[in-house]
Amino acid sequence: MRRRILLTGIRIITRAKRRAIVFVILFTFISGLMLFSLNFVWDAHSTTLLVQSKGIILRPKGFTYVSYDENLEEKLARYDDVEKVVAVWFVNLSELEDLGVNAIMVAVNPDNKWCYVLSESFDLSPSSLREGDYIAREGEIMLSSANVLNISKNATVSLRPSSILKIGKYSFHVVGMLSEDKLPNGGMNWIIAHESDVKRICEKYGLQKYVFGYIVIVEGWLFSGWDNVERVGILLKNEYKDFEVIYASANDNYRLFSPMIVLFAFSVFGCLIVGALFSYLDIRLRKRSLAILRSLGWSTGNLRLLTLAELLFVTILGFFFGLLALAIYRLFTAQIYVPLSVYTVLISFVVIMVSTQVPGGYLYQRSITKVKPVDALRLIER
């Protein structure tokens, strides 16, 4: 019975074409705004901004890199208040001429991709991706956007996403290109590969491992973890005197964060208003139909379900179009690549549903119980 009433509601709104189109457009716009703002606040925080909020970078003093010390990584991870330690380590493929590739191969773990930010000009996080995808599994690599790789002293090869690069007996699939200005300059060729692949090449050819630095993420909530950051930072400064300790926190990001919060608040407010407007117009324009159904024996609960089904349908449709709009926007115009997480989509969906259905439901509840068939039938006669 409920299913039938819900389907009837959907049928009614799809037939009220003009009203449906107007409200789907409104909900698309609002959903798009909400997804956009939450995507930035939430997902960007899990990438670059997270490191800048809770990160400490340990860099060798006076040198750009030193030999990689696995023990140091383990020691850092054992400190209280330390959530995660990620070493940015690499091998220099040109050390072995037999490989025929003149490039630095940096190891990243796709699970930790949000951590790979050492500085503004050394950013291996998804934020610096300009084309293609981030590495998701072994056998995948990313290159600098110059996309020309020296394969020997006198030979180069041009690579694009979907190209295959052979290093010794290993084949790699190019999946993405990183922005050149996010990598240290100096005429280097950069290959960013899965940690397991780099380890395998290291072991196979006996290459030396080097480290650009360690990224230490401390425990604590975003924007409130500063005490922890400072405590751990001081500890590291005292313990590792050969290293430079840099607090990654950058207040600049608050400037981006605030408008996004305002945008989010605006979209919630928009949902409340549009949801209420839809319900108000629905009851006003369809008072007669509701009264006829009431006179035919529909209960107020049945009518409430019918009208809520209409609102639910328009909202869900708007949400999916909003999602689509954001995807299109990201595809053609976005300057910063921030992947949309499932959590963002789910949370946006829940917030939109609650903020439209609650005022809508309240209005329906109030008005439908007031629809007296006899009054409405009298209205028709006039």
Partner 1 sequence: MSEPLFEVRDVVKRYEKEGREITVLDKVNLSIGLGDFVVIVGATGSGKTTLINILSGLDKPDSGKVYFEGEDMTRMSEEELADLRRENMGFVFQHFNLIPEFTALENVESPLYPTKLSDREIRTRALKVLELVGMTHRVNHYPDELSGGEKQKIAIARALITNPVVIFADEPTAALDPQSEKEVIWLLREINRKRRTTIILATHNRALASSTDKVFELKNGKLVRVSGGRT
Torsions phi, psi of 89, nearest 5?
Answer: -120, 160
Residues 225 to 244 in contact with partner 1, rule: CB under 8 A: none
What is the closest distance, in whole angstroms, from the C-beta atom of residue 301 to partner 1 in the complex?
8
Using the contact rule CB under 8 A, the part of the chain among 8-16, 171-179, 191-199, 358-366 near partner 1 is: 8-16
Spatial CA neighbour of 291 closest among 280, 281, 300, 301 = 300
Cα–Cα distance measured from residue 257 to residue 42, given in angstroms and rounded to the nearest whole number: 10
Q: Which helix (H) or strand (E) holds 176?
A: strand 170-178
Q: Which is nearer to partner 1, 24 or 325 (CB)?
A: 24
What is the closest distance, in whole angstroms, from the C-beta atom of residue 308 to partner 1 in the complex?
15
Q: Which is nearer to partner 1, 68 or 313 (CB)?
A: 313
What is the closest distance, in whole angstroms, from the C-beta atom of residue 174 to partner 1 in the complex?
55
Out of 25, 256, 261, 380, the residue judged to bind partner 1 by CB under 8 A? 380
Residues 354 to 373 in contact with partner 1, rule: CB under 8 A: 373
Cα–Cα distance measured from residue 199 to residue 209, given in angstroms and rounded to the nearest whole number: 9
Q: Which is nearer to partner 1, 47 or 279 (CB)?
A: 279
Residue 6 sits in the site that holds partner 1 (CB under 8 A): no
Residue 374 sits in the site that holds partner 1 (CB under 8 A): yes
Q: Which is nearer to partner 1, 21 or 265 (CB)?
A: 21
- Contact in structure between 43 and 202 (CB atoms under 8 Å): no
Cα–Cα distance measured from residue 220 to residue 53, given in angstroms and rounded to the nearest whole number: 10
Return the amino acid letter for 157: V
Cα–Cα distance measured from residue 151 to residue 160, given in angstroms and rounded to the nearest whole number: 15
Question: For residues 170-191, b (16+ Cβ closer than 10 Å) or e, as one string?
Answer: eebebbbbbeeebbeeeeebbb
Q: Which is nearer to partner 1, 116 or 298 (CB)?
A: 298
Alpha helices in 214-341 (DSSP H): 226-239, 252-285, 287-295, 300-332
What is the closest distance, in whole angstroms, from the C-beta atom of residue 83 to partner 1 in the complex?
55
Quote the distance between the C-alpha of residue 144 and its chain's center. 22
What is the closest distance, in whole angstroms, from the C-beta atom of residue 296 to partner 1 in the complex?
4
Q: Which is nearer to partner 1, 217 or 306 (CB)?
A: 306
Residue 98 sits in the site that holds partner 1 (CB under 8 A): no
Residue 298 sits in the site that holds partner 1 (CB under 8 A): yes
Residue 16 sits in the site that holds partner 1 (CB under 8 A): yes
Q: Please state, as a whole number, how many other Cβ atoms lie within 10 Å of the Cβ of residue 332.
A: 7
Residue 12 sits in the site that holds partner 1 (CB under 8 A): yes
Residues 257 to 296 in contact with partner 1, rule: CB under 8 A: 288-289, 292-296
Q: Tell the burial category of 248 from Cβ atoms under 10 Å away from its Cβ (0-12, 13-18, 19+).
A: buried
What is the closest distance, in whole angstroms, from the C-beta atom of residue 114 to partner 1 in the complex?
50
Out of 4, 75, 160, 166, the residue judged to bind partner 1 by CB under 8 A? 4
Residue 300 sits in the site that holds partner 1 (CB under 8 A): yes
Q: Which is nearer to partner 1, 91 or 303 (CB)?
A: 303
Using the contact rule CB under 8 A, the part of the chain among 10-18, 133-141, 156-164, 174-182 near partner 1 is: 10-18
Spatial CA neighbour of 144 closest among 110, 106, 113 = 106
Q: Which is nearer to partner 1, 300 or 365 (CB)?
A: 300
Residue 1 sits in the site that holds partner 1 (CB under 8 A): yes
- The CA distances from residue 161 to 104, 340, 355, in Å, are 18, 21, 42
CA dihedral (107, 110, 115, 119) positive or negative: positive
What is the closest distance, in whole angstroms, from the C-beta atom of residue 314 to partner 1 in the complex?
15
Cα–Cα distance measured from residue 228 to residue 185, given in angstroms and rounded to the nearest whole number: 33
Q: What are the residues binding partner 1 (CB under 8 A)?
A: 1, 4-5, 8, 11-12, 15-16, 288-289, 292-300, 302, 373-374, 377, 380-381
